[in-house]
A and B are shown apart, each in its own frame.
Chain A
Amino acid sequence: MPQTVAFLGRAEGDCALIRRILTREKIEARELTSLTELAGLVGKELQAVVVTEAALAGPGGEALQEALAAQPAWSDLPFVVLGEPAGESPSAEALARLDGLHSAILLSRPLRPEVFARALRAALKARQRQHEARARMAELQLRDRQLFESEASFQAIANSVDQMIWSTRPDGFHDYYNSRWYEYTGVPEGSTDGEAWNGMFHPEDQERAWGVWRHSLESGDPYEIEYRLRHRTGQYRWVLGRAHPVRDAGGKILRWYGTCTDIHDMKVAEEQRRLMLAEMNHRVKNTLAMVHSIVSQTLRQAESVAEARDSIQSRITMMSQAHDRLINSAWLDARLREVVETALAPHQDEAPRIALEGPDMAIGARQALALTMALHELATNAAKYGALSAPGGRVEIAWQAPEEGPFRLTWREAGGPEVAAPRRRGFGSRMIEQALAGYFGGEVRLEYPKSGLFFEMSAPPEGLTG
């Protein structure tokens, strides 16, 4: 900082004196001629002013006063004032202006040069301090603004990101949640501070969560847990909570920062997938059990390998076609008439001799499969030994589902050769007489009157689906 000192005297003697001392002290200075000129220089790199009491009384006093008042807050231009020669008292004017100088030191006459020099140097040092203070303040203001902007920036990020964000002290005391947390949970701000977060968890998850959190606090291991969080709607939803510690240079944990992500829909979908896979697995196992059953029982009963082969193939093909039908309806259910038609498909040629009568209705997948197999057996037997084995025979298939009372399905043969109950019970008879009733939760009757085979199944309405 250029040490610009200005001085102003009235009497030439004063000016010469000041000039001499300044030169000797090697202080650069500028001689002014009026207070007005001085006023113009205030605020322009002037570091100190030397002025005589007499000069203070001159014209331009108001201008100087204004200039001094207009200084910025940090600035207080120091004055060294040379008093009136001994014996002479200052004018009222001079005294008034002296008071208005704020920072002024008054030196008495006769002026001792070293006193004057010291006073001036002190003034200059004081001025330098003012400059330093100003620089420091500017720095603080800058830091202040940067902090404000940084905070605003953080808030913008933390509150716009579509995640719940939270943070805790090293001891686990939760003291920050972003706005998403409060939006999601609907609780008042601050109400989940400290340890109150645990109460937002599903009662069954609270203890487990405490355990995991405590472990993380003690070990510093990242925190991760799936749990149910209470949504503002009152519903508990699955959420993934994760947190990491932030450490100082020495490795000590300063804070924990964490997020909560809503994974509810994903979890529900996952559960549904799991259920579906279990269901599929069950169905496959049942299908294989059915094949196992068909094969072992057919082999047990067959007279020859060729007969066994034909029988097995026929039954498995039928089962396969029934499956195809079911896949088309996504394994949900099947139309009863279609089921009957599928079972009778191998006997297309005999179609005119087979009558179907009954309302359009749905039955469950398992029931459809069982009925297909049973009807297949009835049809095969009819073709081998019964009404379809000779011309003139007929089959009547009818079903009813009255408003009240059980469902009934009948298979009546007529006009064919006499048939009797088989001596040995093979897959067919077991399927018809035992298994079928099991699938429908009902009862089956199989009779062999002279007129022709008669089959009847009755089942409660709830046994048809599900």
Chain B
Amino acid sequence: MTGPQQDAPAILVVEDEPLIRMEAVDMIEEAGFRTFEAASAAQALKVLEQEAEIAVLFTDVDMPGGMNGLALAAEVRDRFPEMGIIIASGIVDLEGREMPPGCRFFPKPYPTSRITAALREVTGQG
């Protein structure tokens, strides 16, 4: 399957580095999902407020400006309890850092098949 279908679930991709964000969007659209993008936690929250249909938050950890990915995940878990959360990060060791319950974590560079499998699972697509 290449490219998102009209009624496929929507994933919000949050990543401050444009090329990496592009890569993530590519990978996720390739797997058949629709995507929305944000370059910071603040932007992400704006998008989430405007678009009601987002099923999964896909976010990096280290982002500039006040709130990082973990804080964003916690906020989202609070406000949108039904939303799936996947955290991807270049930081190898997140031990001791708190992740909200029900989050999945993947390292960078993105292990594509595992991430897409997780997305499918989280959105109930197989």
Contact = CB atoms under 8 A, between A and B. Distances in A.
A434 B26 CA distance: 11
Interface in B51-72: 62
A430 B26 contact: yes
Contact of B19 (A282, A286, A300): A286
Question: Interface majority SS on A: helix, strand, loop or mixed?
Answer: helix
Interface in B1-58: 17-23, 25-26, 30, 39
Interface string A397-432: 000000000000000000000000000000000110
Contacts of B17: 286, 289
B19 A293 contact: yes
B109 A288 contact: yes
Q: Majority SS of interface residues in chain B?
A: helix
Contacts of B39: 438
Contacts of A300: 30
B3 to A, nearest CB: 10
Chain A CB within 10 A, most for which of B21, B23, B90: B23
A293 B108 contact: no
A289 B18 contact: no
A434 B23 contact: no
The interface centre, meaning the residue of B17, B39, B62 with most chain A CB atoms within 10 A of its CB, is B17
Given A289-B19, A289-B20, A297 B26 contact: yes
B22 A292 contact: no
Nearest to A281: B90
A308 to B, nearest CB: 16
A292 B26 CA distance: 12
B26 A289 contact: no
Contact of B18 (A285, A297, A370): A370
A435 interface: yes
Given A290-B19, A296-B23, 8 more contacts: A286-B19, A286-B20, A293-B20, A297-B26, A370-B18, A370-B19, A431-B19, A435-B19
